[in-house]
Chain A
Amino acid sequence: MKNSARRTKAAIAIGAVALLPLTGCAISSNPSGDSDGKTTLTFWSYYQGAQKTWLEGQVSEFEDANPDIDINLVETVGDQQDQKLLASVATGTTPDLFINNIVVDFPTLVAGKVMADLTPYWEDYADSDQFPDGAVWQSDGKVYNLLPATNLLGMYYNEDILAEYGIEPPTTLSEMESALETVTADGTHEGLALSGAPSVEGAWLFAPQLLGEGVDYCNFEGSKVTAAFERLDAWSDAGYIPLSAATWDQNASWQQFVTGKYAFAFNGNWQLGNVADAGFSYGTAQYPAPDGGKSQVFPGGEGFAIGAQSENPDLAWKFLEEAILTPDASEKLFQSAGSIPIRADSADLPALADDEFVQPFVAAASDPATWPNNENTAEMQTALGKAVSAVISGQSTGEQGAESAISDIASAAEEGGGDC
C-alpha cells in the first residue's frame, strides 16, 4: 500500500513537471543579467543580409569599447516578431532591445506595453536636435521608438527601354500612363512591376498615388480615392500591370524588374545595392506625383526600442546612443544596405551627395507622409492591400475596390479608437 502510494505520488510529480512549462514559469533561453562580471543585453532582430551584417558590426564595435557588456543578438522571424514580443510581456521576458517595422508594428507594440518609455533618455540626449519629428515615434507625448535611418519608395526605370521609345522618366501619374501605353503597345516589353499583394505591401505601394493629393488613412474617402482605384483598374485591364502582381510581394516584383522585361518598377531604396547587378542601364526617380499634387511616400524602416521589462534600460540606451544613433552608424548603414540617414548632419555625407541614384530617395525623405497613430494601423493597411490586390486581379472593379477600402479602413480606424 505504501509502495503504491509512493508510486502514485511519483507519477503525479512527473505529471506536474511535464506541466511546468504551462504554468507561466517560462524558462528564458536568453536572459539578460550578470555573468562573470559582465552584463548581457538581449537584442531581438529580424535583419537579414546587409542589414544583419551592419548590426553585427555595430555590436562588435560596442562590445570592444565596452568590455563589461555583451550583446546577445537573437534572430527572429520578421512577420512573427510582434506575436513573440506581445507574448514576452506575459512571460516577463521582453528583450532589452529590439527592432520593429514602424510601418506595421509601432501602434500595436505600444498598445501591448512592450516598449519602454524613452522620454527621459531622449530629453537628456545631446544630439536630439539632429533628428526630425518623423524619426521620434511618440504616443501620448512619450517617446518609445527611434528611427535612425529610413527606407522609402521610389521609381526604378530601365533606361534602355525608355531610350528605345524616346521617353523621359515620368514625373506624374499621367506621364506614367502615357509612358506605359507606349512601351507596352507593341508587346515587346512589359510595363510596371510592383507589389499588389493583399497585405501591407500592396497598400504601401499604392498609397503614394493618394498621399500627394492629401489623402491618407485618416481621411480615406471621396472621389480622389475612387479615381485612384479606377486608374489602377484601367492600368491592369490595359496590361500595364501584370495580373500576377496581385500576389507579388516586393521581392517578387523586384526579381521581375531585373529580368530586363519591365520598363518601370516601384520599389524601395534597399534595392539600390542590388540594381547594380542588373544587366541593363537603369535610373531612379521619385514616385510619380498625382496630377495637381506632389510626390509623397510613407517613411519606412526599422525603429529601435528598449523592452518595457528590461532590467538594464540604462545600458540598453547606452547601446542605442553609441552604436545606433551616431552619424557613423548611419553612414555605415547607408553604405551597406542603402538606408537613408535621417540625422540632419548626415544629409551632406559625400556618400549620399555623390550618388545620383540615391538622390530621389533623399528628396522623398525630406517630405514624408505621416503614419496614423491608431492601434489598428496594420488592419487599415491590410484592408487597402486586399482592395488593391482584388482590383489588379480583376476580382473587383475600381469602384468596388474603392468602396471596400473606404469602408474597411473606416471601420478599422473606428475599432482602433478613432484617433489618427
Chain B
Amino acid sequence: MTATVTRAGAERLTRQRPAPRQRRRFARLPAVYLLPAAAILIGFAVYPMFVLLRMSVSDVGPTNIVGEWDFIGLQNFAEVLSGSEVWQSALRTSLVAAVLLASNLVLGFLAASILAVGGRVTNLVLGIMVFVWALPPIVSGSVWKFLLDDSGAVNGLIGLVGVEPVSWLSSPSLALWAVAGVVAWASLPFSTLILRGGLLAIPAEVIEAAAIDGAGYWRTRFQIVLPLLRPTLWILAILTVLYAFKSFDFFYVLTKGGPGTATNTLPVQSYNSAFMNFEMSTGATVAVVSMLFVVLIAIPYVRSIRSEVSE
C-alpha cells in the first residue's frame, strides 16, 4: 500500500515529529531522572543485601567484623541447615503465617463485608482500625504484654466467669499462638482495608443482577463476590506470608523468643545469633535462608501483579 503525502501534510508531520537526535534525547531523559532513586535503592537495599550474602559465605565474628572476611563457601549453610534449630524456627514461622492467613483472609473478609456499608459507625470503626494499624509495635506489644500477664486484664476477665488463669506468654504450648494472635490483631486492619477496597470496586450491577436471578446473600458472597475478589485475596495472602516471615518486633517485645525456645522464629533466631551472641555469619545465614523462603513466595506475587496490570 502506498500513501501519497501532500507537501502541507509532510510539513505538519515534520513539525509534529521531533528530529531523530531530539527524539533520542527525550527518550534518554526519564532514565536520567531515575538516577538518584536508583542510586538510593542500590545504596540502601541492594548493597546491604550484597553484604548480607557475603557475610553468609564468610567467617565473621566480633574479632573480624572490622577487617578481612575469610570466604568459607557454603559452610555456614551446611552448619545451620544440618542443625534442628533452624527447621524448628521455620516451622514456628510457618505456623505464625498460617494463623495470619486465617485471620487476614477470613476475619478480614468478614470485617470488610460489614464495613463495606457506609455510615458514621463504619467511619468510626475504620478510624480506630487505622489507629491500631499505625501504632508502633513496641507500644502495642508492651500493652499486650501487660494484658496477657498471668495477673493481667485478660486473665482477670476470664476469671470473672470462673476460668483459671492462663499462662498466655509463659506456657511453651501457648506462647507461640498468643504472640501470633497479637501479630494477627495488628495486621487485621490492613487486610480489612485492602479487602474493603476490593469489595467497593465490585460493580453494584453485578450484585443486583445476582439478586434478580434469585441468589441469596450467602450465595452472592461465595459465588459472585469471592471469585471477583480472588486477585485481591491472592495478593493479600502473599503479602501476609511475607509479613509473617519478617515479623520480629512483637516477638522481641512479648517473649524475646521464650519461654525456652518456644517462640524462636526465623527473624528472632537471626537477631539473637547476630546481635546477642555476635555470631554475625550465623545470623546472616539464617536471614538468607528466611529470605529464600520469601523469594519463593514473592515470585508468584510479582507474576500476579504483572497479570493484574496486563488485564
CA gap between A292 and B42 in the complex, in Å: 63
B172 in contact with A199 (CB, 8 Å): no
CA gap between A86 and B278 in the complex, in Å: 10
A-B contact count (CB 8 A): 139
0/1 string, A389-420, CB within 8 A of B gives 1? 11111111000000000000000100100000
0/1 string, B24-67, CB within 8 A of A gives 1? 01001100110110111011100100000000000001110110
Query: Is B240's CB within 8 Å of the partner chain A?
Result: no
Instruction: Give the top 3 A-B pairs by smallest Cβ distance, nearest first.
Output: A390-B260, A393-B259, A246-B259
Query: Is B231's CB within 8 Å of the partner chain A?
Result: no
27 pairs across A/B with beta carbons < 8 Å? A4-B28, A7-B32, A14-B35, A14-B36, A15-B36, A16-B39, A19-B39, A19-B40, A22-B43, A80-B275, A86-B66, A108-B62, A243-B150, A243-B259, A244-B167, A244-B170, A245-B170, A246-B258, A246-B260, A247-B175, A247-B258, A378-B277, A382-B277, A386-B258, A390-B259, A393-B171, A393-B260
Name the one of A112, A391, A396 contacting B62, with C-beta atoms under 8 angstroms: A112
B170 in contact with A243 (CB, 8 Å): yes
CA gap between A80 and B169 in the complex, in Å: 25
Name the one of A11, A21, A246 contacting B36, with C-beta atoms under 8 angstroms: A11
Interface residues of B in 142-199 (CB under 8 A from A): 149-150, 167, 169-172, 175
A393 in contact with B40 (CB, 8 Å): no
B172 in contact with A394 (CB, 8 Å): yes
Not counting A89-B66, A198-B260, A247-B169, a sample of 16 additional A-B residue pairs whose C-beta atoms are within 8 angstroms of each other reads A4-B25, A4-B29, A14-B36, A18-B43, A112-B66, A198-B258, A198-B259, A199-B276, A247-B170, A378-B276, A382-B272, A382-B277, A389-B258, A389-B260, A392-B259, A396-B260
A386 in contact with B261 (CB, 8 Å): yes
A197 in contact with B256 (CB, 8 Å): yes
Name B47's closest neighbour in chain A (CB-CB). Answer: A22
Query: Is A366's CB within 8 Å of the partner chain B?
Result: no
B32 in contact with A198 (CB, 8 Å): no
B65 in contact with A244 (CB, 8 Å): no
CA gap between A244 and B42 in the complex, in Å: 45
The residues of B that contact A412 with a CB separation of less than 8 Å are: 277
0/1 string, A105-126, CB within 8 A of B gives 1? 0001101110000000000000
B32 in contact with A111 (CB, 8 Å): no
If A15-B39, A243-B167, A379-B279 touch, whether A8 touches B32 (CB-CB below 8 Å) is: yes
If A243-B171, A386-B261, A393-B260 touch, whether A12 touches B35 (CB-CB below 8 Å) is: yes
Query: Is B270's CB within 8 Å of the partner chain A?
Result: no
Interface residues of A in 176-219 (CB under 8 A from B): 196-199
Query: Is B262's CB within 8 Å of the partner chain A?
Result: yes
CA gap between A197 and B33 in the complex, in Å: 52
CA gap between A245 and B259 in the complex, in Å: 9
Q: Distance (Å) between the CB of A256 and the closest chain B CB?
A: 8
The residues of A that contact B275 with a CB separation of less than 8 Å are: 79-80, 82-83
Q: Distance (Å) between the CB of A313 and the closest chain B CB?
A: 19
Query: Is A70's CB within 8 Å of the partner chain B?
Result: no
Query: Is B265's CB within 8 Å of the partner chain A?
Result: no
Interface residues of A in 244-267 (CB under 8 A from B): 244-247
A18 in contact with B40 (CB, 8 Å): yes
0/1 string, A43-84, CB within 8 A of B gives 1? 000000000000000000000000000000000000110110
CA gap between A198 and B256 in the complex, in Å: 8
A197 in contact with B258 (CB, 8 Å): yes
CA gap between A395 and B255 in the complex, in Å: 14
B62 in contact with A389 (CB, 8 Å): no
B65 in contact with A18 (CB, 8 Å): no
Q: Distance (Å) between the CB of B33 and the closest chain A CB?
A: 7
